[in-house]
Amino acid sequence: MRYLRIDLVFPGMMLGADVLDSEGRILISENTALTEQYIERLISLGIPAVYVEDKLSAGIDLKPPIPPVLRSAGLSAVRNKDIDTCRLIAKQIVDEIIANGFHSLDMQDLRTFDDYTFAHSVNVAVMACVIGFGMEIHNDQLVDLVFAALLHDIGKLDLPAELLNKPDILTKEEYALVKTHPTLAYDMIYDRLDISSNVKNAVLCHHENYDGSGYPKGFAQDEIPFLARIIHVADVYDALTSERPYKRAYSPYAAIEILKGGAGTIFDPAIVDAFLKYIPIYPKGTEIHLSDGTVGIVIENSEEHNHRPIIRCMEDFAEIDLSSAEYQDIIITQPSAQDYLDLIEEEEHRREMTSPLTRYRIMVVDYTGDSFREISEKLGYLYEFQWVKNEKLAEGYIQRDGRPDMLLVDIDGLEMSKESNQLLVNLHILEEIPVIVLGGYRDTTSIMHFRSLGIQNYVLKPFNIIYLQSEIRNKLRMFS
pLDDT score at 441: 58
Identify whether the C-beta of residue 73 lies closer than 8 Å to the C-beta of residue 29. Answer: no
**Contact residues for 393 (Cβ-Cβ < 8 A; gap 6+):** 365
pLDDT exceeds 70 at position 22: no
Please count the other Cβ atoms lying within 10 Å of the Cβ belonging to residue 128.
31
Q: Return mean pLDDT, the chain.
A: 83
Identify whether the C-beta of residue 236 lies closer than 8 Å to the C-beta of residue 263. Answer: no
pLDDT exceeds 60 at position 269: yes
Half-sphere exposure of 157 (CA within 13 A, CB side): 21
pLDDT exceeds 60 at position 143: yes
Residue 192's pLDDT band (boundaries 50, 70, 90)? very high
pLDDT exceeds 70 at position 263: yes
Side by side, which strands form the sheet with 310-313? 287-289, 295-300, 310-313, 319-321
Half-sphere exposure of 119 (CA within 13 A, CB side): 22
pLDDT score at 348: 47
pLDDT digits (tens, 9 = 90+) for 417-456: 666 667 777 776 666 788 888 887 555 666 777 777 777 7
pLDDT digits (tens, 9 = 90+) for 106-134: 655 555 445 566 788 998 999 999 899 88
More confident residue, 72 or 225: 225
* Model pTM score: 0.76
CA distance linking residue 251 with residue 340, whole number of Å: 11
Q: In 241-333, which ranges are continuous DSSP H helix?
A: 252-262, 269-278
pLDDT exceeds 50 at position 459: yes
Element (H, E) at 353: helix 334-354
CA distance linking residue 385 with residue 430, whole number of Å: 22
| Terminal C-alpha separation, the chain | 43
More confident residue, 170 or 447: 170
The residues with which 312 forms a beta bridge, in sequence order, are 297, 319
Q: How many residues are there in the chain?
A: 480
The answer to which of 71-75, 166-170, 364-368 has the lowest mean pLDDT is 166-170
